[in-house]
Structure 1
Amino acid sequence: MNILDRMKRGDLILESDPEYPQLLEALHRGMRITGELNASYHTPEQTRAIISELTGQELHESTWIVPPFRTDFGQFIRLGKKVFINSGCMFMDRGGITLEDGVFIGPNVSLITENHAEEPHLRHNVYTKPIYIKQNAWVGAGAIILPGITIGENAIVAAGSIVTKNVADNTIVAGNPAKPIRKIKK
């Protein structure tokens, strides 16, 4: 199993790992592609093509991403149909980020799948947990979603919230840490 597979699985990746240069190469690739994306104006079609190159996934024509868009990796992002990602978002996807059909991501949202060990002697190393956002969920402006979180179908994360626990289907959460406010009105 190579370093990218071990990283996505959630293993602690040490800087001393003999395959670490392969990871650095992948990180530089992600930064290069997003740098090109954010350097000038691109039509929605051109933006989808650039993000498709970044993720290795052909994006559906109904998916819309508004630059600037940042990621440190890019290869573990999966986007469904009718996904909307607003300006200024950061996706740290080394653990995997999946946005199902119809997901809305507000401006300046951070999806963070990476973390560092608590022990000081291991802190420079990284482990990951995936983020999964289900159909028609909406993450409001400036929210932060931490590693290992699932946002349920139709759920809403209020602007500025920090999500530290899974969000149930059809639920609105808000705050730091985010807590359930109420169920979605039908």
Structure 2
Amino acid sequence: MSDAKQMLHRYLQSSREAVLWKLEGLSERDLRWPHTRTGTNLLGLVKHLAGVELGYFGDTFGRPAPIELVWLADDAPPNVDMWATEDESAEYVVGLYRQAWAHSDATIEALGLEDVGRVPWWRDGEVTLHHVLVHVIAETARHAGHADIVRELIDGAAGLRAGATNLPAKGAGWWDEYVANLRTVAESFER
């Protein structure tokens, strides 16, 4: 890869695709089911990331999103950027995320890494495209990790991406023994 912007864009795209892979083959119920005390769910992570991209690659650089984000309205339900309402199907949320990608990609293509924007919700809001790319890559990768864990809780599917799980190719018995060993080690600290 000859160009830093191209490399950063590639890392962003890789994390985007990892997030969407975690949704494949699941029902609407499984995609929406809250798996943590704070309600973390797969579809909510994708919806949140769509908003992240539209904000950071949109308003920050004077390129407002072509999509109205209804969850920003004063009368929106609490924390609604982190879950899909009954009216928002998985197809809709994934489509929204892909629209966000297209808008973000156009911004990334149009600007140089040193071009300046302003993040209105940051105290020192002046940023470069480079800064925003690194920030959004980090946030997307963080949420891809959340999605990885949630997906494993749903049906045991785990790994980096389709065709390259990045996990040891071991059978269920090996994994059961491995987890049992980890529990034994952890329990040793209670004695």
Given the two structures, how large is their TM-score scaled by the length of structure 2?
Answer: 0.27
Structure number with higher helix proportion: 2
Higher relative contact order (CA 8 A, sep 6+): 2
Structure number with higher strand proportion: 1
Given the two structures, how large is their TM-score scaled by the length of structure 1?
Answer: 0.28
Larger radius of gyration: 2
